[in-house]
Amino acid sequence: MTRVSASAPGKTILFGEHAVVYGQPALAVPVHAVASTATLDDEVAGGGLRIDLVNLGRTFHLAECPLTDPIALVIRLCLDRLGIGEPSGLLTVSSTVPISSGLGSGASVSAAICRALIAYSDVSVGDSEISEIVFESEKIHHGTPSGIDNTVICYDQPIYFSKGKPPTMLEVGKPFDIIVADTGVPSPTKAAVAAVRDQFDRDTKQTANIIEQIGEISEEAAKVISSGDLSPLGELMNRNHQLLQLLNVSSSELDSLVAAALRGGASGAKLSGGGRGGNLIAYCPANPQPVIDALLTNGASQVWQTTVE
Ligand code: PMV
């Protein structure tokens, strides 16, 4: 019997969510405080692959699952790429990435599965190919994803991302910490992206202007991050959050936690990901503990700290 295991991080978007769907640049970083793990225990006897999605309490055979299921799709695409048949055994998948919260749970789980199958096969597959496979499962989760989640999670590095272009690594002049907080309100990205599309179709001129301003903030933030002089970073986050409010993807929970982070001493805070719930991030160059305390006392369900480097 062979056992192989692999994992993949979560992610957070620093700047540019939603605008990235319309071709503007966005910046994203892996978050290692949360992760997904896939473990394959193969068995000698035939019987196909059983999949145990521990967090969802769901167990099924690959053979009985249609390709409209993102997990089945990712396994099939990966096996095809590796040129191997379906292994017989048990694939156990677990994750500490909260679902529908902007931390990339779907892409993280898919990437961990790909990496476990690759380890089992001993075939070498590059990060960009893994990202392409994971992107296919993202389409099922998100409808019309920009590709930012699969890219940052599969490359496992800070990225500067523009839809349809090869990703560029985001240069980090000086490592810095950000605080990530979960509102505890799950929010499907698909619905938030569709609502912004609706706003864009109804009021194209105004919405395109907001989206362009977000793109300019991402550009500016990339320069700030690579320079290592991070003093403008908080203000850029605050401006990005205001523009996301104008796109109507914030929520009362997000706004109240952003305000709590600022009162606690953060120099900037914004929603991160699809919005309408899910996560926010805060930048606090000084002691982060008062910000973490403020977020928890004001209703954050979980708080993490992650280093961008
Ligand atoms: O998966 P989330 O919730 O982090 O959102 C992804 C970011 C969006 O820009 C809202 C959508 C996309 O596909 O880029």
Label residue 243 by pLDDT band (50, 70, 90): very high
pLDDT at 46: 75
Q: What is the pLDDT of residues 150-200, one digit of tens each?
A: 999 999 999 999 999 999 999 999 999 999 999 999 999 989 999 999 999
What mean pLDDT do residues 113-131 have?
96
Helix (H, G, I), strand (E, B) or coil at 282: strand
Q: Which of 37-41, 55-59, 110-114 has the lowest mean pLDDT?
A: 55-59
pLDDT higher than 80, residue 305: yes
The 10 Å Cβ neighbour count of residue 276 is 22
Ligand 1: centre distance to CA 288 (Å): 26
pLDDT at 98: 92
The 10 Å Cβ neighbour count of residue 302 is 18
Closest CA to 277 of 166, 195, 165, 219: 195
E strands present in 153-301:
159-161, 168-169, 176-182, 268-272, 279-283
pLDDT at 143: 80
Q: Which helix (H) or strand (E) holds 35?
A: strand 26-42
Mean pLDDT for the chain overall: 96
pLDDT at 122: 84
Ligand 1 binding pocket includes 145 (Cβ within 6 Å): yes
- Which of 13, 137, 165, 199 for a ligand 1 pocket mutation test, highest count of atoms within 8 Å of Cβ? 13
DSSP characters over 67-116: TTSHHHHHHHHHHHHHT--PPSEEEEEEE-SPTTSSS-HHHHHHHHHHHH
Residue nearest to atom 1 of ligand 1 (CA): 102
Nearest ligand 1 atom, CA 148: 14
Ligand 1 binding pocket includes 274 (Cβ within 6 Å): yes
Q: What is the pLDDT of residues 11-41, one digit of tens each?
A: 999 999 999 999 999 999 999 999 999 999 9
pTM over 0.85: yes
Ligand 1: centre distance to CA 146 (Å): 7
Q: What is the pLDDT of residues 191-232, one digit of tens each?
A: 999 999 999 999 999 999 999 999 999 999 999 999 999 999
Ligand 1 binding pocket includes 273 (Cβ within 6 Å): yes
pLDDT higher than 80, residue 44: no
What mean pLDDT do residues 125-146 have?
93
Beta bridge partners of 3: 41
Label residue 266 by pLDDT band (50, 70, 90): very high
Ligand 1: centre distance to CA 252 (Å): 20
Ligand 1 binding pocket includes 253 (Cβ within 6 Å): no
Query: Is residue 142 within 8 Å of residue 70, measured between CB atoms?
Result: no
- CA of 157: how far to CAs of 108, 151, 274, 298, in Å? 14, 9, 21, 31
Ligand 1: centre distance to CA 73 (Å): 20
